[in-house]
Amino acid sequence: MIASFSSNDRDPAVRIRIGRCVYCESTRYRKKDDRRLGDEHVIPESLGGNLILEQAACEGCERKVNLFEQSIMKTVLYAPRVHLGIRRKKRKRGEDTLTLDATVNGKEVKVSLPIKRVPLMLFFIMMDAPGILIGRPANIPSFNGAWVKPFLEHGPRMPQGLQGMATPALDTHKFMQFLAKIGHCYAVSVLGHTFKPILSDMILADPAPPPNFYLIGSYGNARTDDPTANLHELDVSWQSADGVEYAVVSIRMFAKLGAPTYRVVAGERK
Ligand SMILES: [Zn+2]
């Protein structure tokens, strides 16, 4: 069984009705009133994600997911979104500028620059396969490099006297939660109750737990993916390891730029 979903910026929304919190199974948004459960984008709307799980998150879980998702969106995935001109419903104040730590005339300062003038990179960590699929113990890390795409076509035009600056850092703990959330939501949307989810604790943990290389990985150096015509690609398939069938979600954000494919083990077949 393979279910695939690909999307491009400005594609119409695809909505799937869930009717329970995908993280904690609650059927109520909150106790004090009858407000219905919140909608959950599998890939954030601000990245051009158009697959929406309707009535799929309670207030408490929504808040926890926002903690890491907003952090990722405001750092590593922020400038690439602006550089790529991904649609945004409303423009917010300050959206087109980025505040960075910089050294100007020997002093440490914060500078705000128009994003399109900042030489930034889209940066994705590379990992080996999720440990659980290949029998690698849970305590062994599997970082093995990075995939980098520079955005330089509009710049750079730096302030006078600028000697250096730090681009936004990647918080790998939160980034792994972000991948877990996308994988979990996509598996729920396709597989419903036919699998037993195993990522909910990781997604709801605050602060973000250390990277879980047992359940999350990529293809390491074993595979280079060519760019496709799609902005984002998702698919889920069953893969057997040690006699157990796992639901494995492939996540490829920015496929049209040639970004790597992540693999997230979302759960076991029931
Ligand atoms: Zn919940």
Tell me the CA–centroid distance for residue 27 and ligand 1, in Å: 8
pLDDT confidence of residue 193: 93
Tell me the CA–centroid distance for residue 8 and ligand 1, in Å: 29
pLDDT confidence of residue 249: 98
DSSP assignments along the chain, one per residue = -EEEEEE-TTPPPEEEE--S-TTT--SSS-TTS-PPPEEEESS-GGGT--EEEEEEE-HHHHHHHHHHHHHHHHTTTHHHHHHHT---SS--TTTTEEEEEEEETTEEEEEEEEGGGS-EEEEEEEE-S-HHHHT--TT---EEEEEEEEE-TT---PPTTEEEEEPPPP-HHHHHHHHHHHHHHHHHHHHGGGEEE--HHHHH-SSPPPP-TTTEE--GGG--PPP-S-SEEEEEEEEEETTEEEEEEEEEETGGGTPPPEEEEEEEE-
In the chain, domain spans? 2-269
Tell me the CA–centroid distance for residue 188 and ligand 1, in Å: 14
Tell me the CA–centroid distance for residue 109 and ligand 1, in Å: 41
pLDDT confidence of residue 1: 43
Tell me the CA–centroid distance for residue 35 and ligand 1, in Å: 14
Tell me the CA–centroid distance for residue 32 and ligand 1, in Å: 15
pLDDT confidence of residue 77: 85
CA–CA distances in Å: residue 113 to residues 84, 102, 160: 17, 11, 12
pLDDT confidence of residue 130: 97
Tell me the CA–centroid distance for residue 196 and ligand 1, in Å: 16
pLDDT confidence of residue 66: 96
Tell me the CA–centroid distance for residue 117 and ligand 1, in Å: 40
Tell me the CA–centroid distance for residue 59 and ligand 1, in Å: 7
| 29-35 CB contacts, 8 Å cutoff, 24+ apart | 29/58, 29/59, 30/58, 30/59, 30/60
Which tens digit of pLDDT belongs to each residue from 39-55? 999 999 988 899 999 99
Tell me the CA–centroid distance for residue 150 and ligand 1, in Å: 38
Which tens digit of pLDDT belongs to each residue from 222-234? 777 899 999 999 9
Q: How far apart are the first and last CA of the chain?
A: 15
Tell me the CA–centroid distance for residue 205 and ligand 1, in Å: 13
41 pairs with which residues across the strands? 52
pLDDT confidence of residue 151: 74
CA 110 from chain centre, in angstroms, equals: 27
pLDDT confidence of residue 108: 87
Tell me the CA–centroid distance for residue 75 and ligand 1, in Å: 26
Low-confidence ranges of the chain (pLDDT < 70): 1-2, 87-96, 115-119, 152-168
